[in-house]
Structure 1
Amino acid sequence: MSKRDDYESSSEMDAMSHASDHHIRSAAGSPVPPQTPSATSATANLSGLVCNVHRTTGREPHPLVGATTTILGDKMYVFGGRKISKSRPTLTSDLYELDLPRRHWSKIETKGDVPPPRYFHSVCALGDNKLVCYGGMSPEGGPTAQNESPDAQVSVMSDVHIYDIPSHTWTRISTGEAPQGRYAHCAAILPSGAVFASSNAPLSAIHHNPSGDQPNTGSIGVELDGRGGAEMIVVGGQDSGNHYIEQISVFNLRSLKWTSTKPIGGRSCGAYRSVVTPLVSMESTKVGAGHEASMDD
């Protein structure tokens, strides 16, 4: 691979030194030795940065770099990534499912428009039974994981695939004009907002709206129904030249159309392998307001 070679080498060495078959390992804290079944029933203490290691059964994934892990209900899904191997590192499009209550791994046999092998992409949960895969780096020409050369060049993708969990089927989404490809970005899905003004609107939607810098607004969240009605927000990442991307791109999962922001003057939203989280139950004005804001609710 020609991109991020130094970073990948250090990541792979770290993963190889910490990889342990049939265990779930937290990213926080130092490695913890395997525990007995009675000990592993303890709850992780997030405030104290305490993590547990759990034994698992089944067919676990190969140690990977640049794969995604996505929680949906009581399942965790691991997709794609670069297999760690001293002799033949390859990209994969394999999908694994971890049943969290049973701690059991399964490799899912998928069908349909399976995304090409890739890494440093994003996969977000949509509704109760779908996953949305976007972007990342994939071998040029779209070779399979089985015939990929270790020295193959990669291209940066801007494609969207949706996986339906009940049918085990991937569908590639035709999006028309898409933003520039990116990898190592962060993405999140949140319900669409629809600003309204109607004579039939309920009284609770009517606000006094004085002139000023921050006028009141009213909005209705569109129900997340698994068929659309949501937007995927894509932030940061890098392009094929390893330049940070300053645009924030939004993909509407109902209209299947992209919109992008203009670069924010004087501020940077460039991010590499970061995290973005939707804030759907808290007003943005209360962020950083401290204890007094919570007392006002």
Structure 2
Amino acid sequence: MDISKWPSDLAYEQWVALPVSGARPSARYKHAAAVVGENLYIHGGSRNGRYLSDIQVFDLRSLTWSSLKLKIESDADKSEDNGLQEVLPGTSDHSMIKWENKLLLLGGHSKKSSDAMIVHVLNLETHVCGVVETSGKVPVARGGYSVTLVGSKLIVFGGEDRSRKLLNDVHVLDLETMTWSLVESTQTPPAPRFDHTAAVHAERYLLIFGGCSHSIFFNDLHVLDLQTMEWSQPQVQGDLVSPRAGHAGISIDEIWYIVGGGDNSNGCLETLALNMSKLVWSTLTTLKERHPLSSEGLSVCSAIIDGEKHLIAFGGYNGKYSNEVFVMKLKPRDSSHPKIFQSPAAAAAAASVTAAYALAKSEKLDFPQIIDLNFNGVENNVLKKDINIEIDAIKEEKKVLELSIEEVTAENSRFREKIDELNSNHTELSKELQSVQGQLISERSRCFKLEAQIAELQKMLESSQSIENEVQILRRQKSALEQEMELSAAQRQGSGGVWRWIAGST
């Protein structure tokens, strides 16, 4: 690969490892990364249980790495020798966000203990770094969370705190005032999790995908409406997506790209793309077994090089730590927003909730484009008529969808009534079961008593049988004794008669 012309040599939607000139940074995972211009910045991460604290910069033109030398804020009461260790400690499971001419580093796990989430800032022009003072309801310190930039606000969701408690709360950091606030949401939120990904669509919808608890890996998709602060779990279509955690994600226009991840046993080989307007999953490419990108704890960013969009991936762990840089050139896509009646989700009656979600996005995204159109004369009038017809058609479809939602709501109510009835029957049956179990216990007790009595009677019977045998023996002995006495008496009588006969004859 010709380094000076490497972007033009790439095929579309294929991962390619970039040749690196010179030294590379340490292999790692669970680091933080961001692209600024044509430079990839990475900070920290973990390797063999050790937290890393360096900031490395990869030049996407020269394909060379360099270490960023930081300067400490002048008012920081620290020596130059230990200042870096104090301001940017070794950290993993954290996030890096570009804001104006700065990089913000949020949270994560490190040896430096803190009860609340800390925000570090690095000025990209002066390379001065320090800690940002924040106020409000500061979230508890955590790692493995997601953070998303929406306008001038950061949306933080979930993660795992220092005591390994899983979280599913939502916090907002206003970057203008550096004030934290806790979001009070409605409906059912995602299960507590960490190592998931998040993206924002149309500046209104926060999407949460995947992640894991301490025993379960998820492949679900949840949506938080940032205007109503209401959670939903819309129906998705397209390719089947396997559960994963530790993956990386980046959204570009309508598409949310997902790379890597795994379930502690197997790494995910496919690179996924979610069309956030249509809520349809597709697979861009599938890697070979044990590929460095089929890893957990990798990072993925986007960069524009020679006018074309690229994905930039770094690091990760799949049994082996990686420090390679991979790039994928993306195919140019039609930037026009799909209309709701073109959406597969809208065409399916079973996906009415999803279609309503997509409709709201279509109204938000398409109508401003219509307003910005500026033609004159007859062409403008004709265009307005066409637009009005299209608007009327969309409104009619919206009515149909609303009716479908009402039907689904009514059916849900019927299901709830049936469930309540089943629960009531279950409660009654449980009571009857408990009663029968009580009766069985009492009957068993009676059986035990009867068996004990039977055993005693058997012993008595055995004892009476032996007594009867002894009586029979005694009777036989008595009979024999009586016979002997009779015989002896007879003998005495015979002897006396003889003597009387002798005496008479004399």
TM tier, shorter chain?
0.5 to 0.7
Report whether the alignment pairs 1:247 with 2:270: yes
What runs of 5+ residues in structure 1 fail to find an aligned partner?
1-5, 27-43, 139-152, 192-229, 288-297
Residues 259/7 of structure 1: CA separation in 2 closer, same or farther (3 Å cut): farther
Aligned pairs for 1:121-270 within 5 A:
121-138=196-213, 153-176=214-237, 178-191=240-253, 230-241=254-265, 243-265=266-288, 268-270=292-294
Using the TM superposition, give the Cα deviation of residue 49 of structure 1 relative to its aligned residue in structure 2, in angstroms.
4.3
Post-superposition Cα deviations, 1:214-235, rounded to whole Å, max 9, x if no partner, equal: xxxxxxxxxxxxxxxx121100
Secondary structure of the residue aligned to 2:110 is: helix
- Which of 189, 195, 207 is the equivalent residue of 1:114? 189
Secondary structure of the residue aligned to 2:223 is: strand
Residues 265/14 of structure 1: CA separation in 2 closer, same or farther (3 Å cut): closer
Counterpart residue identity of residue 150, structure 2: L
User: Identity across aligned pairs (percent)?
Assistant: 24
Post-superposition Cα deviations, 1:175-213, rounded to whole Å, max 9, x if no partner, equal: 14531111111111112xxxxxxxxxxxxxxxxxxxxxx
Number of aligned residue pairs: 209
* Higher RCO (C-alpha 8 Å, min separation 6): 1
Post-superposition Cα deviations, 1:121-179, rounded to whole Å, max 9, x if no partner, equal: 001122222211100003xxxxxxxxxxxxxx521111111111111111112114531
Cα distance in 1, alignment partners of residues 296 and 161 from structure 2: 21
CA RMSD of aligned residues (A): 3.2
Cα distance in 2, alignment partners of residues 14 and 246 from structure 1: 27
Q: Which has the higher helix share?
A: 2
What runs of 5+ residues in structure 2 fail to find an aligned partner?
1-47, 52-90, 94-107, 313-506
- Higher radius of gyration, 1 or 2: 2
Using the TM superposition, give the Cα deviation of residue 239 of structure 1 relative to its aligned residue in structure 2, in angstroms.
2.3
Using the TM superposition, give the Cα deviation of residue 57 of structure 1 relative to its aligned residue in structure 2, in angstroms.
0.9
Determine the structure 1 residue equivalent to 2:112: 17
Is the CA contact 1:155–1:240 (under 8 Å) kept in the aligned structure 2? no
TM-score (norm 1): 0.62
Counterpart residue identity of residue 106, structure 1: S
Counterpart residue identity of residue 170, structure 1: W
Is the CA contact 1:160–1:172 (under 8 Å) kept in the aligned structure 2? yes
Cα distance in 1, alignment partners of residues 149 and 195 from structure 2: 17
Counterpart residue identity of residue 308, structure 2: E
Secondary structure of the residue aligned to 1:97 is: strand
Using the TM superposition, give the Cα deviation of residue 240 of structure 1 relative to its aligned residue in structure 2, in angstroms.
4.8
Cα distance in 2, alignment partners of residues 179 and 166 from structure 1: 29
Aligned pairs for 1:279-290 within 5 A:
279=303, 282-283=307-308
Report whether the alignment pairs 1:277 with 2:301: yes
Using the TM superposition, give the Cα deviation of residue 263 of structure 1 relative to its aligned residue in structure 2, in angstroms.
2.2
Greater CA deviation, 153-162 or 9-18? 9-18
